[in-house]
Amino acid sequence: MAAADKDKALVVFQDNKIRRAWHEDEWFYSIVDIVGVLSESPNPATYWRVLKHREPQLVTICNGLKLPAEDGKLRYTDCVNTKNAFRLIQSIPSKKAEPFKQWLAQLANERIDEIENPELAQDRVKQYYELKGYPKQWIDKRIRGIAIRQELTDEWKNRDVKTEKEFSILTNEISKATFGKTVGEYKEFKQLQKKNQKPNRSKLCGMSPIDDIHPQSGCVFGVHVG
């Protein structure tokens, strides 16, 4: 997943959060989240289990992908791409079905626009952070970091670096040489920091170069490391 896409892994429909994951060059959406929006059930996970039992063919359109759970950990979750989301909607009687279809179609169109014009993706990421209340200096640095990381990974690919293991080795070497820590060591360091201080968005958090390492996702400069 590109760094810009990581920042859009959560979308909102009528004040309802929908988790999603970038997989095989397209977005996959959490079925439980979709069910929760359409059915308005107090227990969408149970609703989905009953629906699968009633219509077993729905199981064939699912992909099990890791998404953040309520406890913050990544857990396997049933997901569907945009095409199969439309199929799922047909099985859930809901007054929100049509607005939800239109919303999904809009997301798909935005993705096509971003592929044709990458600057649109950066603009949307910038708007996303502005809505979350991040300061302009932090946002500008974040956008620059995304572009730099993408250039780095593109250069590695041009030099025949293809496997995740090769990316991991290079990323660890850069991290160690630049910050004195491997990715794993930095993740441990960051967790200790979190325990010893409360988050404060008013400060320019993430302004140091080392904050381009994302401890939860296991990414440095936009590259996944094991």
pLDDT at residue 148, rounded to an integer: 72
- Kindly tell me if the per-residue pLDDT of 170 is higher than 50: yes
Mean pLDDT of 81-85: 91
From residue 210, alpha-carbon distances to 69, 139, 145, 214 in Å are: 26, 16, 11, 9
Whether residue 219 is predicted with pLDDT greater than 60 in this model: the reply is no
Q: CA distances (Å), 211 to each of 65, 145, 169, 207, in order?
A: 26, 10, 19, 7
Q: How confident is the model at residue 29 (pLDDT cuts 50, 70, 90)?
A: very high
Which residues share a beta bridge with 18?
11
pLDDT per residue as tens digits for the range 33-50: 999 999 999 999 999 999
Find the range with the poorest average confidence among 39-48, 64-73, 78-87, 140-149: 140-149
Residue 110: pLDDT band (50, 70, 90) is low
Query: Residues 154, 3: contact at Cβ < 8 Å?
Result: no
How far apart CA 129 and CA 111 sit, in angstroms, is 18
User: 53-67, 111-125, 147-161: which has the highest mean pLDDT?
Assistant: 53-67
Tokens 């991290």, residue located? 175
